[in-house]
Amino acid sequence: MDFRARMGKLGNGSRVAIAVAVVAVAATAWVVPTVTESTAAPHQNVAQQGESNDGDHSGQDGAQGSGGGGGTQQGRIPEGIAHASETGGNAVNITIDDGPDPVWTPKVLDVLKRYGVKATFCMIGPQAKAHPDLVKQVVAAGHRLCDHTVDHDTTMDKKPVAYQEKEILDAKKMIEQAAGGGAEVMYYRAPGGAFTPDSRRIAAANGMRPLGWNVDSKDFSKPGTAAIVDTVKKEIGNGPTILFHDGGGDRQQTVEALGQVLGWLKAQGRPTGFPVQTTP
């Protein structure tokens, strides 16, 4: 017996009940897919926004993008290690580590002023706290500040994340308090280049771009002024960011070599600038 014949034998009440059931099933078939789509989309968006791509110890140039998911968004500091210059072209970044020092930082500042060059000073927290006048001089001269941790621990990459965070953030606070006037610490340089994905993330989340170097002048070991200058000239092809020191002992060779290097760069027609802080 077909469907129509069966329906004909049913009473009016039974036919009404069956019709209501059919309508309910049809409504359910339309509603369920709508609910499923609306709840799934936000989870997909969260997963995409949370993705990250941490690099290795060598890091990335600013022009090549960031090392973390958050850093790729406009207005955020990338987690990738910066090497490139904001000025672009063949510009060079002069960076000065381990100060400030009451004897050598003023001499370095004098050399920079003589050649009209701005540099980035990577300061150790307690040194900045002990010599706030020097930090203020650095800022007043138009140079930039960089966090070089509290204890200059070159094994930071083997320490717990909580330790790394304290080393970085305590130093940042010391430097900013010494500078006063709302001065900003714009970079973080790991001692000995001992960066980790965590330390880079912590720095970037607190407004500091991880900062590497391309040319180690070897001035820290005091090999002689001529040797320092020669090293810079030979290695300048590696990239634009040069490492010098104004702390950690007698820096007379650094002061002399810095002047010669800046004179040579000027003769080469190479401008100086600051490292990138954000991705273009």
- Residues carrying an active site annotation: 97, 245
Directed axis angle between helix 252-267 and helix 104-114, to 10°?
10
- Dist. CA 6–CA 20, nearest whole Å: 17
Name every residue whose Cβ is closer than 8 Å to that of residue 97 and which is 6 or more positions away in sequence. 122, 148, 189, 243, 244, 245, 246, 247
- Rounded to whole angstroms, the Cα distance separating 206 from 208 reads 6
Report whether 178 contacts 157 (CB < 8 A).
no
* DSSP designation for 260: H
Strand pairing partners for 245? 97
Distance CA 213, CA 204 (A): 17
Would you list the DSSP string of 80-113? SPB-SBTT-TT-EEEEEES---TTHHHHHHHHHH
For residue 160, count other CB atoms closer than 10 A to its CB: 10
Expressed in angstroms, the distance from the first to the final Cα of the chain is 76
Rounded to whole angstroms, the Cα distance separating 178 from 129 reads: 6
